[in-house]
Amino acid sequence: MTNKKMPCPKCNGEMCQGFVPDYTYGAFFVGCWHAGQPKKSFWTNTKVSHGEGVPIGAFRCEKCGFLEFYADRKFAAK
Residue type, 75: F
Residue 4 belongs to a domain: yes
Name the region of 28 (left: φ>0; alpha: ψ -120 to 50; beta: rest). Answer: beta
Residue 64 belongs to a domain: yes
pLDDT at res. 42: 85
pLDDT at res. 34: 87
Structural domain containing residue 28: 1-32+53-78
pLDDT at res. 69: 96
> Domain total for the chain?
1
Q: What CATH number is given to the structural domain containing 18?
A: 2.20.25
Residue 42 belongs to a domain: no
pTM, full prediction: 0.76
Query: The dihedral of CA 25, 29, 31, 35: what is its sign?
Result: negative
C-alpha–C-alpha distance, residues 66 and 22, integer Å: 20
Residue 68 belongs to a domain: yes
Give 3's pLDDT tier (boundaries 50, 70, 90): low
Residue 46 belongs to a domain: no
**Tens digit of each residue's pLDDT (9 = 90 or more) over 8-64:** 999 999 999 999 898 878 889 898 998 888 889 887 778 877 778 999 999 999 999
Residue 6 belongs to a domain: yes
